[in-house]
Amino acid sequence: MADQAHVVIRPLGRPGDLGWVVMAHGEVYSREFGWDSTFEALVARIVADYAAHHDPAREAAWIAEIDGQRVGCIFCVKADDATAKLRTLLVHPDGRGHRLGGQLVDNCMAFAREAGYRRMTLWTTDILGSARQIYLDRGFQLIQEQPERQFGADLLSQTYETNL
């Protein structure tokens, strides 16, 4: 079945894309990890800041679709002049099994290189094993790790970085 699906990764920008990113994160992370609405609020701030202030030459976002249905997203935003930050990677359960996570990260990294960034960083948690493997496969290295309480859960917070 996966071979017959029509998969598209396109730039974010259609009506409903921003809201979908926030809603999908809130629903998926609540259902799968028991995270509370403070996580959805964080994603809403990230999305709102991007929508209001992003520099199209240095920042971009993508939506993955299968047969016209949104099933994934990723953002590339400026951390500083030399460093891009990968944000809000999500592959909805309806999109899993199509290697979309890797494709989204590859798009993000290629854009960051073309935009002139020299490195990329990201924040995640240890419970996101599939995402972590995608990052490791692309040369990201763990540079910081610490336990913390966020989103109503005890997490092991992780920061990764790679040279572009």
Residue 5: the pLDDT is: 78
Please, where are the H alpha helices in the chain?
17-33, 37-53, 100-114, 129-137
Per-block average pLDDT, block size 10, for the chain (164 residues)?
Answer: 77 97 98 96 97 97 97 98 98 94 98 98 94 96 97 96 98
pTM: 0.94
Q: Measured between alpha carbons, how far is 156 from 146 in angstroms, rounded to an integer?
A: 6
Residue 4: the pLDDT is: 72
Residue 103: the pLDDT is: 97
Q: Could you tell me the residue ranges of all domains in the chain?
A: 2-117
Say if residues 157 and 146 touch (Cβ distance below 8 Å). yes
Torsion 62-99-107-91 (CA) sign: positive
Identify the CATH assignment for 2-117 out of 3.40.630.30, 3.30.470.10, 3.40.190.10, 3.90.600.10. Answer: 3.40.630.30
Instruction: Look at residue 77 and give its three-state secondary structure.
Output: strand
User: Angle, nearest 10°, between helix axes 100-114 and 129-137?
Assistant: 40
Residue 3: the pLDDT is: 54
Residue 2: the pLDDT is: 45
Quick one: DSSP state of residue 80? Answer: E
Residues whose CB is less than 8 angstroms from the CB of residue 146 and which lie 6 or more positions away in sequence, other chains included? 156, 157
Q: Measured between alpha carbons, how far is 49 from 101 in angstroms, rounded to an integer?
A: 23
Q: What is the DSSP string of 102-134?
A: HHHHHHHHHHHHHTT-SEEEEEEETT-HHHHHH
Amino acid at 26: G
